[in-house]
Amino acid sequence: MSFEVNVQLKGRFVFFATNNVNKFNEARQILGHSRVAVGMLRIKSLEIQSESLEEIAKTSVLEAFQKYKLPIVVEDAGLFVEALNGFPGPYAAYVYRTIGNEGILRLMKDIDNRKATFKSAVAYFSSDLTSPICFEGTAKGKITLEEKKPAEKEGFGFDPIFKPDHTSKAFAQMNIVEKCKHSHRAAAFRKFAKWYK
Amino acid sequence: MSFEVNVQLKGRFVFFATNNVNKFNEARQILGHSRVAVGMLRIKSLEIQSESLEEIAKTSVLEAFQKYKLPIVVEDAGLFVEALNGFPGPYAAYVYRTIGNEGILRLMKDIDNRKATFKSAVAYFSSDLTSPICFEGTAKGKITLEEKKPAEKEGFGFDPIFKPDHTSKAFAQMNIVEKCKHSHRAAAFRKFAKWYK
């Protein structure tokens, strides 16, 4: 376990339990706007197998709280492709590591219905609460026909194959400010920040 | 929660926490040979997200034991396809429900390396033990080029697209006695039964 806290901001603070710096940067972008300081708590939190992101995130945050006794948020996200009956769903991370974007595009070959939804669940718990509270955000969009990302960029998860509605760019083609206008994670953290203040 | 116990057998008994009657029948087939009575404990046990079946099964069995205080086995299985970097792995159940056998065959189209391994982890815990004990079984084989199952049979999971080595039939084309000669689950339960007696 290691953590770093952004101490420039005054006021409330929270720890975000994650090992994913991309997720952390999105959260910091949103929470910073609301003047909520956020520290990255680099721990591997327990994730249960469930089709409910809310259930996964709530279980994780309780377990992390029990260990560290800090005000903690945990985020769980999933990509739900309509024509694939919700696959890869909450198991997006494992699916990404194994079959990757190329696997999703292969499964979607010749399929016209390309509708997909990214969902995010942000769960918070601290000693002030009796049970965790959860905020959800969604981003509706389409699976692209091919990977779209700037050559110099690594891309994060399924961002290169997801184009949110009402934009012409895939997530991977946006900078962090643009992405936070459309992203499921930003939407969930925005709800959390509003409540937290 | 409901359960039914096979009371014809004398001697030791164990509860198998599962909602899957196909899994239960395989376990009963193996344990019956060893004169271990097995009851089906129809509960939804906690499953964590992990790439280690052993870790998933051990966590589940401890959680189930804490609730029911019975001698319990839990089994977790996965299908690891070499050319897909181990996909679908421990998330086989969700992948089966969403993209199914057809999805795996689509991902494997034009791929020559069809090697795959089914793995099973059987974890046991009772009040006699201080920590759960786990037994693993594997079945090496190939992903078939198409689904193979008798017309009248529903098939169980990925059984119609997995052909174990040294046989000409897919798992779905075998009766339970044949399947138990080759299956990962039978191998794990056989090790458990040997130890349990």
Candidate from B91, B97, B107 with C-beta closest to A94: B91
**Helices A21-33 and A184-196: crossing angle, nearest 10°?**
40
* Residues near A77 by beta carbon (within 8 Å), at least 6 away in sequence: A23, A53, A92, A118, A119, A120, A121, A184, A185
CA distance B175 to chain A (A): 30
Q: Evaluate whether B74 touches B122 at the Cβ level (below 8 Å).
A: yes
Q: Evaluate whether B143 touches B114 at the Cβ level (below 8 Å).
A: yes
Q: Does the beta-carbon distance from A98 to B87 stay under 8 Å?
A: yes
- pTM, two decimals, is 0.84
Catalytic residue among B76, B112, B128, B165: B76
**Res B65: pLDDT:** 94
Sequential pLDDT tens for chain A (197 residues): 445 554 444 567 899 999 888 899 999 999 988 888 898 998 888 888 888 999 999 999 999 999 989 899 999 999 999 999 999 999 998 999 999 999 999 999 999 999 999 999 999 999 999 999 999 999 999 999 999 988 777 678 999 999 999 999 999 999 999 999 999 999 999 999 999 98
**Res A11: pLDDT:** 61
**Res B58: pLDDT:** 96
Contact residues, chain B, for A109 at CB < 8 Å: 106
Q: Which residues of A are catalytic?
A: 76
CA distance B37 to chain A (A): 29
Tokens describing residue A81: 């492709």
Element (H, E) at B17: strand B13-17
Q: What share of chain A is helix, strand, coil (3-state, %, to 5)?
A: 35, 25, 35
**Helices B21-33 and B184-196: crossing angle, nearest 10°?**
40
Give CA–CA dist A25/A16, Å, rounded: 11
Nearest to B160 by CA among B151, B174, B148, B178: B148
Chain A interface test: which of B44, B45, B47, B49 (most A C-beta within 10 Å): B49
CB atoms within 10 A of CB A171: 27
The 10 Å CB-count burial string (b at 16+, else e) for A71-104 is bbbbbbbbbbbebbebbbbbbbbbbbebbbbebb
**Res B13: pLDDT:** 85
> How confident is residue B6, by pLDDT bands cut at 50, 70 and 90?
very low
- Domain CATH number, residue B107: 3.90.950.10
Average pLDDT, chain A: 91
* Window from B16-30, B105-119, B126-140, B177-191 with minimum mean pLDDT: B16-30
Chain A contacts in chain B segment 124-163 (CB below 8 A): none
Owning domain of residue A140: 3-196
In terms of pLDDT, which residue wins out, B138 or A151?
B138
Query: What share of chain B has pLDDT > 90, as a percent?
Result: 73
pLDDT (tens digit, 9 = 90+) per residue, A18-73?
A: 988 889 999 999 998 888 889 899 888 888 888 899 999 999 999 999 998 989 99
**Res A7: pLDDT:** 46
**Res B45: pLDDT:** 80
**Res A153: pLDDT:** 72
Average pLDDT, chain B: 91
**Res A157: pLDDT:** 92
CB atoms within 10 A of CB B83: 16
Q: What is this model's ipTM?
A: 0.76
> How confident is residue B2, by pLDDT bands cut at 50, 70 and 90?
very low
Q: Evaluate whether B18 touches B72 at the Cβ level (below 8 Å).
A: no
Chain B interface test: which of A44, A45, A49 (most B C-beta within 10 Å): A49
Count of domains for chain B: 1
Residue of A nearest to B106 (CA): A107
